[in-house]
Amino acid sequence: MEFIIETLNLTKKYGELTAVDNLNIQVREGEVFGLLGPNGAGKTTILSMLSTMLNPTSGTATVNCYDILKEPAGVRKSIGVVFQESVLDERLTGRENLDIHARLYKLPKGIRKVRINEVLELVELKDRANDLVKTYSGGMKRRLEIARGLVHYPKVLFLDEPTLGLDPQTREHVWAYIRELAQKEKMTVILTTHYMEEADSLCNRIAIIDYGKIIALDTPENLKNTLGGSSIILQVFDIEKAKMLFPNARISRDKVILPVKRIETDIGRIFRTAIKNQLQIYETRIHTPSLNDVFIFLTGREIREEKPESNNKKVNGG
Amino acid sequence: MGIELNIVYTVWMRELVEHVRDREKLISSLAMPIFWFIIFGTGLASSISFKGLEGINFSDFLAPGIVAMPLLYTSILSGISVIWDREHGFLKEMLVAPVSRLSIVIGKALGGATIATLQAISVLVLFILLGIKLTFFTFILVPAMLVMSLGFVGLSIIFASLLKTMEGFNLVLNLGLAPIFFLSGAFFPIGILPAWLRVLSQVDPMTYGVELLRYISTGSSYIPFYVSLPVVLIFSITTIIIGSYLFTRKQ
């Protein structure tokens, strides 16, 4: 089998609203695949359908060769899910939460203990494992949830906004874990996020989603390169001289825009040329397109950074 | 969709561990029946004499009614754990696991019934220490209490599955619990009630539970055991089946 996840015209409608619109994606084994888009774009709905928590209105998908509609049990065995909102039992200890999880996934007794210690080590929660979860900080809870998603060695790990509401330092920490996991365990990771840097720094490929549709799908580099890569922008007094010295530059009023491949080496070369020819530069800027630029370019809007949703929000499962 | 015993055990164990950790709940669930016993057993018994007790001491008559209290209250409250899990998300963790929903709901039901029965046993032990007379068949009380409790746990899961929110659930509890308890004849022989009230009493499932416990512990009851036993059994089986069905429904 070529793809570990494949969706076929996956669609979810809520009355008039189409949350997910004929989605077709293919994810290869071992990939870190990102679903990037603003809140309400349909990312969580896609994950809910792929994890068999929600039935699609039409279309289907396979996860690890199991059809989400016909073989939900097979799908569930293959996946680990870290939900957007915390689903820990705060009245139990960290270790007990992991133990219940291991039992729900039917790990044999001997293996349970080994795996639990292993994941606790990974997320650096071994010292606090026997404390009640309600005494944990937000970052610790998030790490515990990621650890829990890994206890049963899933083929695919779904992470729904893994760092939502975390402080920047903890966020970096969580990213490091995810990166390490994907490399070490050869696990396929599907993550949703509305943080540009998160998608950029973690994902092999990114699908940009808006209004339930994919509007772009590629590696972060290629997505950014669609906007023409990095450039150095010089503001000079003598435009004509600049034109002569840098024939490949684009000129916009008093600005000279120089497309560059590697800023680190190219910037020295440009300045040497300028100094040798006595071209006076009064301002220099470096522009590297971000995924945010890509999103603005594609939709004409910016992805808003929204406040995390409250964990107390009611979840209508069950 | 079958029942996986190890999953039932896991869910059951979680209910028990959490109950034992909740000190306030543990203490209040034992304190309430004792207060009732003191108020009714001493206060009321000395001022009123009921007809139809047929020579049984009022305290002995009252004891099974009080023992039945946690079997109703704790069992009915067990549905809160279903709503709690839904509101705090843990239900999702269980539902996304490769296990049958039936195993989860059965584990929850058995957990709630076990807790209620353990409380009833503690009250019973206390009464024995206080000198309540019991028949030789007292040990049969335990399975009877478990079955009776399962009936109300099932009822609770039905409400928890239908009502979704804690507020709605509490509202139903406040409206329903008191009549169920006071009509059951836990405090007085239903034989002395006027006919119209006795009819209400006889549609109250709790009545049959109390009467069954009373028959086992005192050897006599208004409703004969060959009526109360099957009613209690059928009530439990029905509510557990309906509760499981509503819980396992996928939205």
- Chain B: closest CA distance from residue A79 (Å): 9
Cβ-defined contact of B10 to A103 (cutoff 8 Å): yes
Q: Could you tell me if B168 and B181 are in contact, meaning their C-beta atoms sit under 8 angstroms apart? A: no
pTM for the model: 0.81
B164 touches chain A (CB under 8 A): yes
Contacts of A96 in chain B (CB under 8 A): 17
List the single range of A57-61, A218-222, A236-240, B81-85 with lowest mean pLDDT: A236-240
Cβ-defined contact of B89 to A86 (cutoff 8 Å): yes
Give the pLDDT band (50/70/90) at residue A314. Answer: very low
Share of chain A above pLDDT 90, in %: 45
Q: Judge whether residue A195 has pLDDT over 60.
A: yes
Q: Judge whether residue B97 has pLDDT over 80.
A: yes
Give the pLDDT band (50/70/90) at residue B105. Answer: very high
Per-residue pLDDT at A7 = 95
Give the pLDDT band (50/70/90) at residue A317. Answer: very low
For all residues of chain A together, what is the average pLDDT? Answer: 87
Closest Cβ–Cβ partner in B10, B86, B98 for A318: B86
Residue that wins the pLDDT comparison between A102 and A194: A102
Q: Which two tokens stand for residue B116?
A: 């209620």
Q: Judge whether residue A147 has pLDDT over 70.
A: yes
Per-residue pLDDT at A262 = 78
Give the pLDDT band (50/70/90) at residue B45. Answer: low
If you average pLDDT over residues B199-210, what whole number do you get? 94
Per-residue pLDDT at B44 = 62
Kindly give, in sequence order, each residue whose CB lies less than 8 Å from that of residue A218, ignoring residues fewer than 6 positions away: A205, A206, A226
Contacts of B12 in chain A (CB under 8 A): none
Per-residue pLDDT at B93 = 92
Q: Could you tell me if B228 and B208 are in contact, meaning their C-beta atoms sit under 8 angstroms apart? A: yes
Judged by DSSP in three states, B34 sits in: helix
Q: Which two tokens stand for residue B25?
A: 């709940």
Q: Which of A55-74 are b and which e, b meaning 16 or more Cβ less than 10 Å from the residue's Cβ?
A: ebeebbbbbbebebeebbeb
List the single range of A212-216, A302-306, B113-117 with lowest mean pLDDT: A302-306
Per-residue pLDDT at A306 = 46
Per-residue pLDDT at A312 = 38
Q: Could you tell me if B169 and B81 are in contact, meaning their C-beta atoms sit under 8 angstroms apart? A: no
Cβ-defined contact of B95 to A53 (cutoff 8 Å): yes
Per-residue pLDDT at A304 = 60
User: Hey, of B15, B17, B88, which one would you mutate to test binding to chain A, going by the most A CBs within 10 A of its CB?
Assistant: B88
Q: How far apart are the first and last CA of chain B?
A: 17
Question: d(Cα B199, Cα B97) in Å, to the nearest integer?
Answer: 47
Per-residue pLDDT at A8 = 94
Q: Judge whether residue A309 has pLDDT over 70.
A: no
Crossing angle (nearest 10°) for helices A94-104 and B5-21: 160
Per-residue pLDDT at B32 = 78
Per-residue pLDDT at A253 = 77
If you average pLDDT over residues B79-85, what whole number do you get? 90
Cβ-defined contact of A85 to B89 (cutoff 8 Å): yes
Give the pLDDT band (50/70/90) at residue B220. Answer: confident
pLDDT digits (tens, 9 = 90+) for B158-194: 999 998 788 989 898 888 898 999 999 888 888 888 9
Give the pLDDT band (50/70/90) at residue A1. Answer: low
- Chain A: closest CA distance from residue B32 (Å): 25
Question: d(Cα A50, Cα A188) in Å, to the nearest integer?
Answer: 14
Question: d(Cα A95, Cα A128) in Å, to the nearest integer?
Answer: 9
- Nearest residue to B247 (alpha-carbon basis) of B121, B132, B79: B79
If you average pLDDT over residues B227-242, what whole number do you get? 96
If you average pLDDT over residues A207-213, what whole number do you get? 91
Residue that wins the pLDDT comparison between B242 and A266: B242
Q: Judge whether residue B137 has pLDDT over 80.
A: no
Closest Cβ–Cβ partner in A51, A79, A104 for B94: A104
For all residues of chain B together, what is the average pLDDT? Answer: 87
Element (H or E) spanning B234, and its range? Answer: helix B225-248
Phi, psi (5° rounding) for residue A276?
-60, -35
- Chain A: closest CA distance from residue B121 (Å): 26
pLDDT digits (tens, 9 = 90+) for B119-135: 999 888 888 887 777 77
